[in-house]
A and B are shown apart, each in its own frame.
Chain A
Amino acid sequence: MKKTGYGQARARSVLTKTLLVMKIWLLWLIPLGVSMAGTAHSQNLTLDLTDVTIREVLHTVESKSEYSFFYNDSFTDLDKKVSVHARNEPVRTVLDRLLAATGLTYTFMEGNLVVISPRPLPTQAVITGQVLSATDNQPLPGVNVSVKGTTQGTITNVDGRFSIAAGSTAVLVFSFIGYVPTEVPVGSQTTLNVSLAEDLTKLQEVTVVSTGYQDVDQRLFTGSVVKLEGSDVKTEGTVDVGRMLQGRAAGVSVQNVSGTFGAAPKIRVRGATSITGDNKPLWVIDGVVLEDVVNVSAEQLTTGDPNTLIGSSVAGLNADDIESITVLKDASATAMYGARAKDGVVVIKTKKGKAGKPQISYTGNFSTYLKPSYDNYNILNSVDQMSVYSELERKGLLNHSDVSRSANGGVYKKMYDVINEKYGVDDGGFELPNIASERRAFLQRYALANTDWFDVLFKNSFVQEHSLGVSSGTEASQLYFSTSYYDDNGWTIADRVRRYTANARATFKLSDKLNLGFITTGSVRDQRVPGTVSRQIDPVAGGYNRDFDINPFSYALNTSRVLTPYDANGQREYFTRNYAPFNILNETDKNYIDLGLLDLKIQGEAGYTFNKDLRYDFIGAVRYVKTTTEHSVEEGSNMAEAYRAANSQVVRQGNKFLYYNPDYPNADPVIVLPQGGFYNRTDDEMVSYYFKNQFAWNHTFNGIHQANLVIGQEIRQVDRRNAFNNGFGYQFSKGGVAFTDYRIIKQLLEGNFNYFGMGDQRERYASFYAGGTYSYKGKYVLNSTVRMDGSNRLGESTTARWLPTWNASVAWNLDTERFMEGVTLLDFLTLRAGYGLTANAGNATNASSIYRSGNTNRPYLDESESQVIIESLENSDLTWEKQYETNIGINTGMFNRITFTVDYYRRDHFDLISVIKTSGIGGEAYKAVNYADMKSHGVEIAAGATVFTRGPWSWATNAVFSYNKSRITNLRNQPRIFDLVFPDGGALEGYPVRGLFSVDFQGLNPSNGVPVFTNHDGIRSSDVYLQSLNISHLKYEGPVDPTVTGGFSNTFKYKNLSLNLFLTYQGGNKIRLNPSFQSSYSDLDAMPREFVDRWLVAGDEQYTQVPSIPDLVTLSQLGAVYPYNSYNFSSARVADGGFVRLRTVTLAYTLPSKFYGKTGLNNATVSLTGTNLWLLYADKKLYGQDPEFFTSGGVAMPVARQITASIKLSF
């Protein structure tokens, strides 16, 4: 609607202007022909008129005298109000006075005819030029250029260029918010290059908002946005750009769910917008959408699976290349991204070359991760742990026969094995006689071991990062080149990373009209992480499991401190896992994953300026990413040896890694990996293409009406391929010769697995958009955008494919109003309001039926068939997930030292995909349907202030606060108890998008210390059926996502020394404590310190909530009931998620320039940064468990405490 309005308005004004020009021509003809006849006149006038128009004055004169006036009726000056007082004065004098303040003049003609005509202008020439910022020599777009004393004016384009007609006597005025207005006399010049100095008294809000489609003056921007300079965000020692945003931007919550290199943090802009979707913001770098290499949803980030390390493409970005980061938050800001913008957009601009002599900058970071320590975690020491074991032994839970036959075992199993198997060499006796005193002596060594697993598995690592950038250029071409090297030799003994990046950017100005740009970026990563397999959910007992987990952090937390890595002789000591010998040092040596990643992007840009108003831009980019994940399991590792553990019939029957051959139903399972280990390889490949064509039209009418129109089209194509190949019997020690037993393949195939496979994903998007902005004198701004997106994501159906989105928004720069002129304490004040529709394609692709080929699940290979299954019925109603958003915001600055931005928003999410249980009659019992609705709202506040400046001292502060709350208003799902009690929560109508629920803990059973709950039927019982659909007796704890997040930064400066303290905080969410309780424990388990308070005798239940270690009698009574698992999911195991963390402390010193001498240095800064040093506040129940980190094993590690020394030089 709005767009058509604009079109009509413009057409009309152009038309009237044309007519006006024609009339003036006519007028010019008359004076030329008759001016020779001009004579003197002497008639005098007496007038006394107040506040009338000139037109009226002329009418009065006409009526009072013999003069007739001839003028063009459309001269606007005629409507100017004037007061004329004349007492018997000549007409000429009166007219002189009357027309002095106008652009009109008069000529006397024959017969008392007076022609009023425009004052002849001095000869005008077209002046062109460029406006640059004096600070960094960058072009300034949007600068107001006007001819002094007239209404004539224009605005500079994206490259800071302008052209304006002005006479030689004219003076051009360049004004731009945040810069000192500059006046330049034209003289004889036709080219004027001006550089504007920043107005230091008005530091704030000078910004240009880069949406990725356009650069807009912040005063004319109607959306909600956070703009951060690269230099402000950059945290030395932190590699991931996403992490740097934590606490910096209002409305952006960043949770470091894993600290491993490459693992993206969980980033949410204004909270979650989808129940089943990814909820990840869109990343846009230099105008091109950054696609993820593999799709890892926000929920998957917490799994610790290896693909979380390659999912995020941001990890390949060198933070030193970043010029600025803009986070687009509301529908008005993200409108240009239409149906992919529901989760917000993070726009990154990288650095460009600058004209001038080459500038070289170098940044070097040298940091170390501090080893974790048991002081921060509540794990029993070895003496306490051994006393728990002896309780287990007393209760019959570590008896000789069971333990010596079990798959996993620690010191007790070892003791029994020694008793059973080892004979003394000399006296022929047993090495360890089975006598109580001898056994005690054997265990004594372990009881006193108190192994510090953190010390064994972690190191104070050394990380170095070097980044070198060169910028150079002339007027016609600019170059920027940078390269960086990152080397982390590993916080643990099982990981290390190297990363190389290169970035080359060139911009060429081929003519005044045509410019070209090229960007080539590449990064290479080489990373080693501990060997791991994907985790699985066990819905029966409740919990996740991951076989062969050797994550050092999990290992240190979950392994008894009684165990020792080395035996008395200093040799590696092995205990038993999966019936095979296990030593963590040996395992990390022989079971590892190597990740290789190559990421290359080539981008081309072209711009053509038709005239001062119209411009065409093209961007095209190709990106190619290849990752290889090689999981090597060498012979001698526990994972390989477990396939060869078959030394007794008990082991053969119990070992699930042996092969039961259905062809010989009576035979024991046999070894099918006689030699070698595994070489499992996964290749992920992504090729993406992006093309954009855009026309932008900018025009200012009469210096008052500023209009801007953008119309464009873009295409995106993403092809992903995942291929895997599992190699069995690869002999690492024999030059890599494979020795494969055919039966292991047969075993796999009979188990319905394949040893290799490949899958493709193809995404196609085509979009068309148009947007317009109108501003009146920079006071009132109207903006509207419409966009049409098409995608293949929803499936083959052509009807569901297209979606239009739109928005409308306004801004009012209150400070420019006349009535505000007196308010001097206010620097600026802008009110904004916007409303619009954004969307995302949800996680359903069945706009037409989805058929998948597969194989039948049958036990015998010769009875197996290929089949085509209907994965999903056609859903002709399928559509995108959408939301309407209303945003109201204020930006203000006061006293030249305080800035303040507040935003309030309300979101109506609808057509969200929800999995719904259907009648089943159509053949699909659970369908993904656009059914769910959700509402959310929030407040964001960002405040900055220079608190204090006196002489060399200054103190600046910056605070960010965000609040977000969501409620699912419609969701017809049927969760089981199990779906809601997990650490990452579940979705339920009436609750937040992810709510944490608990089994309601009711105390301990006084007779045996077993926990009792309000169970699924509402009865007090130890028996909770976690798969029950009756969830009405669960206790709601709170949201899993924090409702409040923010940061608080303070910078103190004294001369060249500065100290920055940066705190981050979050709150309002609940955390499930690590699952430490089990029905039965082995002599491997490490227990948290709560176990000291455990129930021991009747009566303890009045004082403690920590359940007992059940004895055999209790266990047999429990049968198939899992109260201890339920306890892990109970209200007793929930902590508050709020925390305040000292995120970084930075002390920096800039060397005074007198030291630079002849070195050529411009600037030299050294700094020391401490990251994550102190958790100021967290719930005591956490006992050191990181409130951000999900202990999920695999490749996940918490964010380390880190100290970084950094040096920055520029020449």
Chain B
Amino acid sequence: MMNQKTITLSGKTYSLDAHGFLSPPEQWDEAFAEGMAETLGIYGGLTKEHWHFIDYLRRKFIDEETVPVVVIACAENKLRLREFRHLFPTGYHRGACRIAGINYEFMWKTNHWLTYETSPMLRTEYRVSPLGFLENHMDWDERFAELIVREWKLPRGLTNRHREIIEYLRNYYEETEKIPTIFELCKAKNLSLEQLRKLFPEGYRRGACRIAGLPFFP
């Protein structure tokens, strides 16, 4: 990530600075924002709240030639920190500002503390397909599952029940290169459809199989 000089999103190539931020800034367009967002752990497209914040940042950046500190930015947009962190999992500088097309040098010139925020890290090297499925099932680890569970806003996070089912699915796939039918799974793991839905809100394929790191099976 640190030495990447370009990135290709939806077929268009943008050039980046040494820290992975858009440079020069004129290249920015909405497709960049959408594409970058996905690499930064925002699955399912940018929502209205995302855009509200991104537009605010761009106004500050382009019109006022400044970048506010995260606390001020959140205060001005009436966002609690945890709501903000939920919108932008990789944080303010590395998340929101990056999506808004602000470059590292500018941030650093404005205020060197800006480039020091301590936010949770998202390992962006999970290569996922546009639908959010892991490109290579071997890349799976528990962190990947945790991130998806966070997307789903499950109150108790990743539980042992989740882990059991994920293990079952992965073993099945590794042995047969296929996924079990939903009924096989429910029988093997003593699950009702109701319970499955509760554990994996997005359903069987987009829920359970995706979180287990398995590829998309239409």
Instruction: Report if A and B associate in a common complex.
Output: no
B residues apposed to A, CB below 8 Å: none
Q: Which residues of A contact B (CB under 8 A)?
A: none
